[in-house]
Amino acid sequence: METFPTKPGLVTPEWLSGILGCQVSAIRWVPIGTGQVGDSVRFAIDYSDGQGPSTLAGKFPSADATSRNTAAMFGLYRKEVEFYRQAAPSLDVRVPTVHFAEVSEDGAGFVLLFEYLGPARQGDQIAGCEIADARRAIEQAAAVHAPSWNRADLLEAEWIQPPADLGERINSIYPQAQALFRERYAGLLEPELMQICDELADNATAWFGRSEAPQCIVHGDFRLDNMLFGIRAGAEPIAILDWQTVTVGKAMTDIGYFLGCGIGNLSQKHEAELLDLYLSEMSRRGVTLANDDIWHDYRLGILHGVSTAVFSAAFVERTERGDANFLSMARGACALAAKHDSIAALKETS
């Protein structure tokens, strides 16, 4: 049995008093965010002795069994806890300050208690964003990648390594995911874009079987829903949330994903500008790259948006917003993959 709360309602004034070192007299909470793998809440806190933060954010396992089991199977909760414990202090990316982070031995239970960054504007995958938001996001990607670039202590850490058979496991169930995705969205996603999904499924062994030396830490789900803008009533421009999919790999996994499924149509006009901004930010942080150095990886990184949309649609709780979200992700990623013939890039790699 866990010795820490795994649901918001289990957080007591006594437990929180011990964490904060102040006498908490009362707690109230409301749900926040749009995550489907974990449940986030905002705590309002009263004190009878001393003074602590009046508001904190908490994150817990999803109340939905399907989402919760998927997260436990792939170690998503453990990864996020360990990211805040072991990696975040070495990076320049803006993330919430953590007051408490713990995960159960089986990886199915966890709690994160961190600073509340509101008032802020939640990124919205479906609504999209303005170019100014996209620029801030690209700068934050470099703030993850550059400080971890070729850092053996980070890239070889035990907690961040994917299971040895992860690619094989996902490959074995991916056809099922694509079949469900096609059945569910064939009448909604344009046929030429659904064809990209089908082609990636046909080449799933090559996609999930890739063996590449990692360059840096990557977020893995770098899109608008996992970003806050104008945090603390505009005092800071942006913060990056939801590190459950953090891993090691190629930097362009995040960039291709963001420009494809992350911002959709915005990338058609600003793709070159945002790639140039990324290269400039990396150079400013001590990692010099040219367009030729990233282009092949970028074409491949776009496909990460396709496979994530397909897989997530099949294995997390189905909701109306989730359907709109996965369609938005797939539409943007498939369109950019078609533009740059990402399937051909995958075949060249295999």
Question: Could you give the 3-state DSSP secondary structure of residue 235?
Answer: coil
Q: Which domains does the chain have, with CATH numbers?
A: 8-115 (3.30.200), 121-349 (3.90.1200)
pLDDT of residue 158: 94
Please give the chain's pLDDT, 350 residues, in tens: 568 999 999 999 999 999 999 999 999 999 987 666 789 999 999 999 878 999 999 999 988 887 888 888 788 999 999 999 999 999 999 999 999 999 998 888 999 999 999 999 999 989 999 999 999 999 999 999 999 999 999 999 999 988 778 888 888 999 999 999 999 999 999 999 999 999 999 999 999 999 889 999 999 999 999 999 999 999 999 999 999 999 999 999 999 999 999 897 888 899 999 999 999 999 999 999 999 999 999 999 999 999 999 998 887 778 898 899 999 999 999 999 999 999 999 999 87
Find out whether 232 and 118 touch, Cβ atoms under 8 Å. yes
Own/partner contacts of 128-132, CB < 8 Å, gap of 24 or more, are 128/224, 128/263, 128/264, 128/265, 128/266, 129/224, 129/229, 129/263, 129/266, 131/266, 131/270, 131/273
The pTM score is 0.93
Q: What is the pLDDT of residues 43-93, one digit of tens each?
A: 999 999 878 999 999 999 988 887 888 888 788 999 999 999 999 999 999
- What tokens were used for 186? 């064939």
Rounded to an integer, what distance in angstroms lies between the CA atom of residue 223 and that of residue 134?
Answer: 10
Rounded to an integer, what distance in angstroms lies between the CA atom of residue 6 and that of residue 35?
Answer: 16
